[in-house]
Structure 1
Amino acid sequence: MAEAPASPGRHRLGSPLDARAAREHVTSSDSGSPSLAEQVALVPTDPGCYLWKDASGAVVYVGKAKNLRARMKQYVTLADDRAKIPLMMQTVESFDYIVVESEHEALVLERELIAQHRPYFNVDYKDDKTYPYIAVTHGDAFPAIKYTREKHKPKTRYFGPYTDARAARDTIDTLRRICPICSATCAEWKRVHRLLAKQPADADLISLICAQNGRPCFDYHVGRGPGVCAGLVSPDEYAASVRRVERFLSGHRSDVVTELKEEMAEAAAELDFERAARVKRRLEVIDGLDDRQQVVFPSRVDIDVIGFFREETIAGACVFAVREGRTQRTCEFILDKGLDVPEDELVAGFVKRYYDETADIPAEVDIAVDLPDAEVIGEWLSEKRGRACHVHRPQRGEKRRLLEMCERNARHALMRYMLRTGYADDRTNQALLELESALALDAPPLRIECFDISTLHGAFTVASMVVFSNGRPDKSQYRRFKIRAELTEANDFASMSEVLGRRYAPERMADERFGSRPDLLVVDGGRPQLTAAIRQLSDLGLDIPVCGLAKADEEVFVPWDDTPVVLPTGSASLYLIKQVRDESHRFAITFHRELRGRAMTVSILDEIEGVGPTRKRAIMRHFGSMKRLRDASLEEICAVKGLPADVAREVFRVLRAMDGSDGGPEGE
């Protein structure tokens, strides 16, 4: 491992995003030692893993690369376009790297390093709890099954994770009725385990002693224990039961069913009807499980389908484990990254973390994005599984439908988490306090009003006003305006001045239907739009805090500084103000399209020869809306009562021509 020398830290985690500061930080050094950029230039071009560190030496990010120097150079030159990179590089003071033989080895090492250091900028589970697993304690003469949240031990095989603890415990209980196996919580099993731990070579002798002096445990009497404590089973016979349990947990139930049927037939042939009856009851338990599980594929496929739903800095993940065509289990997770990282990075991070902690690897993993290193991840999973495993993105069919269902479940899981923890309320309160500080307001902006203009070269110009109360959309307060000024071309400044003059006129300010005075006024645009808003408010004698939000770099323009305010990427304040801006844009565009569509309906039908007021009313009464009319076939238009066939054909021809030349409003 090679390490770059650390220099004193000058930036703290969470400081405002500043690409210029990040670039200066990685290309200069206060202590006279080589800069980060100069140190990266000496990194080898071999595959391996890199660890970025902050001033205290803590690892803030771990990544892998086929070419270490080329990949790390993208960070120090800010060529990596992920939004978090400039912020992260402001915190980086040094780095380590580890050279390996192949990209596959780099992926395995990356997972080990992430598990060891838990870096802030890597994708991880949101809640820091450990998830439950079903474990089989290999390494013992008589391995036991147990429910556990322990860190993975070398000689124990783990199945899961299960996000529902009750489901994991119920699975163990059901499984022990199908394949009797010792439980790690059984006092008699612990006694035998201690004896074997002291004398591992004397397993046969200990079994003989147990047969003479041992007392069967309660589980043996109810058919869930094999009788290890009473010497009623040999290590070889017990090992066969353990293999059966593991196959069952891996989803290969048909193999277990086949073995049990053969055993039942053998017992019946030997006239051992008591043993045949026991096996029959086990088969009935499996049949009961099959009745409760949904068949999602006609073929016996083994796949995991993983869906995601992202919010600003948090995401939900849902895994459907399908074995032999049936949904065996569903697991839900909350991740600590969301829209603040690229989707492929979020998905890849989860896939690596999830399969690093489970031994249950399917033949195929279905996800909604194409991963750059999908082939390498597939090789890693194939090695863990011992057979081929592919990472696949389904485009259509049953797998795509199941993936969409998985994404809906991920969304519901995230919503439940946010409701349960109060995440949304905390996030909103944090956003309002951050806006108060960043925009130098006297108080948190509990009522925010935002305006946007939508036009088509000066025609059908409209304005929208949306209101957010306590950080939430207040749709009862939304208003929309038709711009009255005669415009021959798009003029956002004149339009904004008009709508603000109408909204904040004395009679409107006194109108209870328009609500109270806003704590913050947001205009969609940069410095020119902000200047127009300030001038109009000044003419009205109003002192309302106002800012402008530019689309290009998400910069917030304020009256009291020529330099725009840059809110931290991924911060609650930036997410809220963007949500306000986007909602005003959506509302304006919707109104603009409505006006334009209504005008087109009137003008186009009026211009068609043979369509007068009576026939136009008949057409619109028949279809109900212009959208339905434009989607209608010739036969459907001909079906309008009182409309001649030649006129119907002309209406159809004109509408098709209009659809071919239709354009969208500016700014869409």
Structure 2
Amino acid sequence: MPDPSTYRPAPGSIPVEPGVYRFRDPHGRVIYVGKAKSLRPRLTSYFQDISALHPRTRQMVTTAAKVEWTVVNTEVEALQLEYNWIKEFDPRFNVRYRDDKSYPVLAVTLNEEYPRLSVYRGPRRKGVRYFGPYSHAWAIRETLDLLTRVFPARTCSAGVFKRHSQIERPCLLGYIDKCSAPCVGRVSAEEHRKIVLDFCDFLSGKTDRFARELELEMNAASAELNFERAARLRDDIAALKRALEKQAVVLGDGTDADVVAFADDDLEAAVQVFHVRGGRVRGQRGWVVEKPSDPGESAEGRLVEQFLTQFYGDQAELGGAADESTNPVPREVLVPCLPPNADELADWLSGLRGSRVALRVPRRGDKKALAETVHRNAKEALQQHKLKRAGDFTARSAALQNIQESLGLADAPLRIECVDISHVQGTDVVASMVVFEDGLPRKSDYRHFAIREAAGEGRSDDVASIAEVTRRRFARHVHEQQQPLDELAPEGKSRKFAYPPNLYVVDGGAPQVNAAQAVLDDLGVADVAVIGLAKRLEEVWVPAEAEPLILPRNSEGLYLLQRVRDEAHRFAIAYHRSKRSKRMTASALDSVPGLGEIRRKALVSHFGSLARLRQASVEEIITVPGIGTATAAAVLEALGVTVDSPVSAAPEDPVGKDQSAEQATR
């Protein structure tokens, strides 16, 4: 364990200007990023008596082996640089709000000729409007189901839209009037776009106009004795009212604000955000994170600051390519307390929005009442999290300790890597590597391997495959460790394998374990323990041991090893299926005479998959450029579809016919 005094900067060498600092571990990985109005007092506070530090801060400074800093001109620049470094390096000890993209939104693709309404997750795209976020995808689908009665816009994918355009027949939604069916020309592109724009206006808060228009149309239809239309309009008005009931009015019309609240204990904090647009609650989000531990700062103020910089920084990046009418930063942000650098934060948020953003604490009225509601939600979220995580944390700690004691390791295996091989009779041999840290999967470190040397000529050699994967994984680790940090990766970006596992698990028995250990010995890697987990009896194999280690069937350590092994197996199977699917798609059409690579790709691109190609008729296949009737029939036959020959019989050769008759007579 590094001693903070060994890398403490010399007295007077730290500048007093504002800046951003980074702590690195012995492997060169950035483990913490912070900022300060004055670097000297902030960094000096980390090297005081260790016993007086916050437990999380104490763990960080004893894990680090180096500290470095960058001086900036203003606190606003420090905010931006801190956010960029946290996003770039993903430091282990920084608070991260990692699930931003897990919240679905309602996307309207205004950049298409026929805009589409859909559930969407991920980065924002140019020319697309987004509404939400919603807590659950079913909430979007329920809203769409209600509103497509009134605004029958397209919700199908591009492939479905293209297919129904070709067959000139609408889908089920078109038949039940929940889609205006632009695919078959029931409405023009301009008419369909007007429907979509009305839908966007309704979700943007302009709701009263549509309700009044529908009521007027209903009354007019009733006066004209068109009771069928009047009944439908009545149902449409009811659908609009049900959709509005899901978005409670909490503030005055035109209010554009986010309300943030926190509930915390000594170690963790729950964060809740209500997004209010047009006076209505449009979405809600929540996180539970570890509390920041910068010495010399208010914990709540630092929590507010870190949340605002990370959350709105990420939202600005997500919305950077979106439609200009969608701004991820509201005009007003309501927080429980103002951080010391509230003015600089407001300036930074204003820069992200492009106009002035107010950062304030609600004191009275409706905004104060809503802030109290958000705070109650945060307290409930923290309580539920503590009830759930208490058992999880205890079980994970017991599992890691059990593995350490059973295998005789010097330390608990905080990082476990596991590899698994997947193939079908020696074809499409692939391997997966999954990573668990502190008993939890770290999916950003998962890796796939296409086996190069171990498989061939229809056979499989799992032992050689394990050896190849182990060599490829640790050869790069050894190479990176032998290079100077500044020469290899000045910014710490490319040292992907510089952090070795405490425990390396292979799926298999003694041969696989010994093969992996032999590779590590050859590479000179001596600080990684290797074991194998055999599926048949769940035996744990140790290198150079004749007999396996049997862990109790009810031990937490065995449960964790099984989970790691099963995750590696799942990850390998998924990769293997994708490779096999691509190979089978190509091979299924290879036998068709006269069908070259270009036309084969054109077929697959046109229909999207072999399943759709099998369902197509000869007439549909010949619409693909370069595909004739005979080739279309041959394609279907190659795919196992029996068709009547569309090719008319060739004229009989009278000479050949006479010769055949003569031969038959003889």
If the length of structure 1 is used for normalisation, what is the TM-score? 0.47
User: Which structure: larger Rg?
Assistant: 1
If the length of structure 2 is used for normalisation, what is the TM-score? 0.47
